[in-house]
Chain A
Amino acid sequence: MNAILALENGTWFQGVSAGAAGETTGEVVFNTSMTGYQEILTDPSYAGQIVTMTAPQIGNYGVAGADTESDQPQVAGFVMRDASPVSSNWRATGTLRDYLVRHHIVAISDVDTRALTRALRSSGVMRGIIATGSVDPAVLVERARRVPQMEGSDLVKDVTTKEAYDFETALADAVTDASFGLPPLRRAKRALKVAAYDFGIKTNILRRLAAHGCQVRVFPASTPASEVMAWQPDGIFLSNGPGDPAAVTYAIDNIKKLAEGTTPMFGICLGHQLMGLALGAKTYKLKFGHRGGNHPVKQLDTGAIEITSQNHGFAVAPDSLPATTRVTHLNLYDGTIEGLRHINKPIFSVQYHPEASPGPHDADYLFQEFLDEMEKN
């Protein structure tokens, strides 16, 4: 079946349907990871986005239960150059196509994804639409222009958990058993309670926390600070998530309150942006974002380079940083802020994804730093 991807700038790409039939809209972004399409599909941070994979052969190894980052695919749509009709891997439980169809994800393949990526790189991410069947591109372009802008959108409320729950450590072990789990640098010396705000949390963050010996309770994004503190956590974790951080005002307020205390706090991605906002900084939208598994990030304290897993469209503005925070990590591609730390509190965050999945494991040490802070406290 034919499919078309149309963009708000009036261009459109002819392709073939590679997932569910129908129509979907969202912000069109590209991801340069060469592996990990299933992790990307299921990462809640992609809510509201149509993700283009720059790697051309997608679906080769099918899908597997352990490779999900949430219960289901979260992307608004998916764009590929060449989609595999078969799955080939000892762990595969099915093909990508079946998976997309089952979860009603509209996808398109046979698209000149490089041309699309170049368009997004030069004019910035755009709103777009994928529609399958016989459709009129001109109509689709019009519809793409009516898609709400990402700026100002609180998408967290759609992906966060409805109720608090305790993460089952057994799930972490399941992955370790498949010998894929990275052994943690060390485990917690005592049982540490981590309260994790779910702004769209990736399961691997929970697995990594658990692997380090943390007992994790996941709280809905709007949970008041007092309720979290009532659980008496050793540490507070602020998760990744979709959308514009500045629009998630309730979270910023809660983090402000929590930051007044002395409980160690660690944020990743959206969590990092929210922490920045709570501490008084501002955020801005990047032209085409950082999405991939190859960005070099420099640890300013040691000079060491990490190859990082990235997925964000917003960033903390360097000129807006309050005196109470310092930059700990920088992106060597474009100098954007990749890490922040409070100058005298055990509060720190990174823009990228130390939990990887997909991507390199270079930054796993950050979980241990979180342990250190919690144990010191």
Chain B
Amino acid sequence: MPKRTDIKRVLVIGSGPIVIGQACEFDYSGTQACKALRAEGLTVILVNSNPATIMTDPELADRTYVEPLTPEVLEKIIAIEKPDAILPTVGGQTALNLAVQLDELGILKKYHVALIGASIPAIKVAEDRLLFRDAMTEIGIAVPASGVAKTLEEALVLVEQTGFPSIIRPSFTMGGVGGGIAYNLEEFKEIAGRGLHLSPVHEVLIEESVIGWKEFELEVMRDAADNFVVICSIENIDPMGVHTGDSITVAPALTLTDKEYQRMRDAGRRIIRRVGVETGGSNIQFAINPDDGRMVAIEMNPRVSRSSALASKATGFPIAKIAAKLALGYHLDEIPNDITRVTPASFEPTIDYVVVKFPRWNFEKFPQADRTLTTQMKSVGEAMAIGRTFKEAFLKGVRSLELGKEGLLFRRPQMDVNEEDAGSSEDEDTELRRQLVIPSDRRMWAVFRALDKGWDIEKLHELTNMDPWFLQQFKELVELRKTAEMIGLRDMSYDLMRTLKRAGFGDGELADILGVNEKAVREKRHELKLRTSFKRIDTCAAEFESFTPYMYSTFETECEADPTDHKKVIILGSGPNRIGQGIEFDYCCCHAVFGFKKEGFETVMVNCNPETVSTDYDTADRLYFEPLTFEDVMAVVEREREGNVDVSCVVQFGGQTPLKLALGLQEAGVTILGTSPDSIDLAEDRQRFNELLWDLGIPQPASGTATSKAEARDVAAKVRFPVVVRPSYVLGGRNMAIVYDVATLDRYMSTAVDVSHDRPILVDRFLEHAKEVDVDCVADESGAVVIGGIMEHIEEAGIHSGDSSCVVPPPGLGERHLTTIRDYTRRIAKALKVVGLMNTQYAIKDDMVYVLEVNPRASRTVPYLSKANGVPLAQVAARVMAGKSLAELGIIDDMAPVGVFVKSPVFPFVRFPGVDTILGPEMKSTGEVMGGADSFGMAFVKAMLGAGQRLPESGSVCISVNNEDKGEVLPIAKGFAELGFQIIGTRGTAAYLRANGVDCSVVFKVNEGRPSLADEIVNRKISLVVNTPHGRESFFDDKAVRRAAMMASVPCITTITGAAAALEAIRALKTEGLEVRALQDYYAAVDGS
């Protein structure tokens, strides 16, 4: 079939900000789709509120809208762009839900827009739990017994039939938000109530529990001619009961007989047909009872998903790209397989390796959060590892997580004794049993501890329900560990070392097991002549030749790396997403690839995050899917050197992960391009850095370093409280805190100090109520420095820059301060001999500019600035690192944004009941959005809207601020009153406002009486909350208010500057009205002027 000729313009909907359950995988799929559609000559219109995506690069679509993902905004875009069709299947649940809303609002009909990839009825059957259940019953596919409830009463009736434990699944939510497992009636009421609230259609499915059953997924595709293929099967090592995003998974499925697998495949085919996905990819989940083989279908996603990104990376079959082509009417057999070139896409990939995906959680950021894993996803990222065997892939997966000591599965017994206070072994067993029964992020470590203690597989299976085959593999690893420990490094034979390496043991792990350092293991390995080899991922298990150098390491006889003799550069990626190191860094790595390609380099990518664009085999010239450890990176370097050329590495773009490797690589003789590792170290080494700034005459807050309580107290006494404390070499403000007194400081030093014990804790004076500013610049070898942007934070200093909204151009900075900031930035960049990017954070207090921090590397704000300026900063930096001067690239003047752009963060609090939503120096946001306009107010409106906060145009504003803030909140309250808002205050605030002429009613604080402020929020009597923290004693009160506001989606602003911004935004909303504009138009306007 030729492609559809009725479609010329396609609107692709992205997935918006990174949140738990929707991460980079949709940038990967969206980017692939955009490329595929444009390759077919179509005009692509893209909308996504997330600026930190490759898909929103202006080159990737014809028209790029970085605008909030709401039906109103989409209607405006549709009205302007008049697309023939919308592709809603590459933007996750967000895009699918928007498509349904557009249909329900009649917008699709009004503008004659077709949906391609999935039809509304198909989306509904797949997403509506009841319709899905009925459809399955109709085609004779078993599903767990279930019923749908619209109210809590209905839910209670249903649970009587389905029994406990009970699975609660809200309809139309993503990543299982609001769902859960209830073991008793009380829990049931709580979870069902929450689920009903969080479901956009206020509907939950109450389902029979199949907890403990084996869990599988099929990634399937279908074309318009009803051809059907399974791209990949995935087996969850954590059985049913843990969200697949939180499960350790393996591809292909390893414990299914052919009979069982083919039965599942047949079911998959019938399901995709019945649901009615005419073209594209779908993900179908199944559960199998391990005792009798009974199979039930759990759910189906009629779109590309996190699992399909994983499947694409695991097999080399680009699902999103093919899905986009199928949506245009191509048939599978008309599309070639990129990797083999000679065979068509109408086949089923077969793989001759094992892939393990490990989720990455960030519970340490949310100490109050419940770490139990349930049907609601809690992980923030994932690492994928590839090995020739399960064991090898599994251990590579564990080390890809970068968990440090925490990540070591094999801890020497003596360490355990030291750490776990000498409780009786009975208590210990009870605790271990609990950790095995109740799934948490640490369960796998408990499994290994149990095996180490000699617990047998049968018992472990009983406790965890993990398939005995996996447990056997783990047991073999534990046995190998014991053998290695017994023999020791000195006496280790070639055979044993080979067995250990083939089982996936990293040099670092072995060092820990053997009680030696990693270098000793490495040397021994070299002495035994045991070298890493690389195999290719080719979709066909070597049946055909592959033309795509997509590789993984293993220890085998034959190496297929086949390095070239081209001028080459290795770009180190950023590993699994975590809070503080997310998609922004992958964006930068991709641009580094683009930049080096332009400079004639062969680009080699090393990364282990399956969600990303950087791990698309189409991005870099060569891709190594590998953990980012010294050992794994050096193995790549050594193989690439066989091309008889110098191999250099780039560590600046992937966040802290590659930076940590920089010194080691340099010591091993690897050239590091760009800013030297020594300069990087200088910026991180507080003492050296202080000296540098002192020499430059640039002020910074008084500071010192401490390795003990006593030292910390001394420093604090010298610099005076409040102080900011944090470990060196961290990203995302990990373990960063603002400390007001000695007792808290002592506590911090005793609990947090082990985060990086070989590096001191930094103690800085905290500048209260200061204005914070971020600056990104790029510098070249000649010492030229061009500033990419000066970003003014909307929240004041003290809130992590990643959690703060910011704006360019800075509206609240005087020319004098701007000049100072530019001058400081230039001088620091020159002093550090920066070649590439540098991020600097400043605070302005009492009319004085202080340097807070300098990071000579790509920062989180680089993609946002790139979009705001229309210049890809990271790409410029890469070209500069390749030897070009800024002048040669035509970049001479400091850059300026093409409009007013606000960046706002997005938080995962909704998934962590009980966690306070207050912001501080430790970063908690998972993603960001950008809003652009001509005025700050409107840009802020859009950013808030993009982040899911609809600012009200009328209603009541409740103000509850601490004493210090009362003076500053007064004009804001007056402003809201002028805009026609009713003002409500808690007692103290209301008294103050009234005394100053603001008409204001009073509401109880939470612990004062009822109805309280929280009640009024729930009752939707309040449309905006301004609540600054009242200090420790009333802490609980504030927290309850903030949480109530979050759950009711009422904007809750916790800083005065934020409130002022919101006021300005609402004023803009009431006067200007919301308009949309494509990035290309912003850029054209500037070019034209």
Contacts and interface: CB of A to CB of B under 8 A. Distances in A.
Q: Do A and B come from one complex?
A: yes
Interface of A: 13, 30, 32-36, 38-39, 54-57, 60-61, 64, 66-67, 81-82, 84-86, 88-91, 112-115, 117-118, 121, 175, 178-180, 182, 292-296, 298, 303-305, 307, 332-333, 356-362
Q: Binding site of A, secondary structure by majority: helix, strand, loop or mixed?
A: loop
B465 to A, nearest CB: 13
A78 to B, nearest CB: 16
Nearest to A333: B343
Given A67-B257, A293-B350, 5 more contacts: A34-B350, A56-B353, A60-B254, A180-B262, A359-B258
Contacts of B346: 296, 305, 332
Contacts of B353: 56
B255 A118 contact: no
Nearest to A14: B557
A35 B253 CA distance: 9
A115 B228 CA distance: 31
A57 B354 contact: yes
A217 B258 CA distance: 27
B388 A296 contact: no
Contacts of A333: 342-343, 347, 544
A66 B259 contact: yes
A117 B558 CA distance: 11
A178 B290 CA distance: 14
A312 to B, nearest CB: 14
A359 B262 contact: yes
Contact of B351 (A34, A182, A307): A34
Contacts of B331: 303, 305
Interface of B: 225-229, 233, 252, 254-263, 265-266, 290-294, 331-333, 342-344, 346-354, 388-390, 467-469, 472, 535, 540-545, 556-558, 560
A180 B228 CA distance: 20
Contact of A90 (B225, B292, B352): B292
Given A86-B468, A88-B469, A178-B293, A64 B257 contact: yes
Scoring B233, B261, B262, B294 by chain A CB atoms within 10 A of each residue's CB, the highest score goes to: B262
Contacts of A175: 259
Nearest to A13: B557
Contacts of B290: 90
B557 A112 contact: yes
A32 B541 CA distance: 6
A356 B557 CA distance: 34
A33 B350 contact: yes
Contacts of A36: 257-258
A179 B141 CA distance: 12
A86 B476 CA distance: 11
Contacts of A33: 258, 350
B139 to A, nearest CB: 12
Contacts of A303: 225, 331
Given A117-B542, A360-B262, A91 B293 contact: yes
Nearest to B457: A86
Contacts of A84: 469, 472
Sorted nearest first, the 6 A-B pairs with minimum C-beta distance are A36-B258, A115-B558, A54-B541, A358-B258, A88-B469, A180-B259
B483 to A, nearest CB: 16
A18 to B, nearest CB: 14
Nearest to B288: A90
A362 B252 CA distance: 20
A294 B347 contact: yes
Contacts of B292: 90
A107 B1072 CA distance: 77
A55 B351 contact: yes
Given A86-B472, A294-B348, A182 B266 contact: yes
Contacts of B468: 86, 88
A359 B354 CA distance: 20
B768 to A, nearest CB: 59
Contact of B352 (A56, A61, A293): A56
B263 A179 contact: yes
Contact of B254 (A57, A179, A358): A57
B457 to A, nearest CB: 8
Given A56-B353, A357-B258, A121 B543 contact: yes
A19 B462 CA distance: 31
Contacts of A117: 352, 541-543
B542 A114 contact: yes
Scoring A39, A54, A358, A361 by chain B CB atoms within 10 A of each residue's CB, the highest score goes to: A54
Nearest to A35: B258
A67 to B, nearest CB: 6
Given A115-B556, A307-B229, A82 B389 contact: yes
B216 to A, nearest CB: 12
B469 A60 contact: yes
Contacts of B333: 296, 298, 305, 332
Contacts of B350: 32-34, 54-55, 292-294
Contacts of B254: 57, 60
B3 to A, nearest CB: 16
Contact of A35 (B256, B342, B544, B557): B256
Nearest to B226: A304
Contacts of B544: 121, 333
Contacts of B557: 13, 112, 115
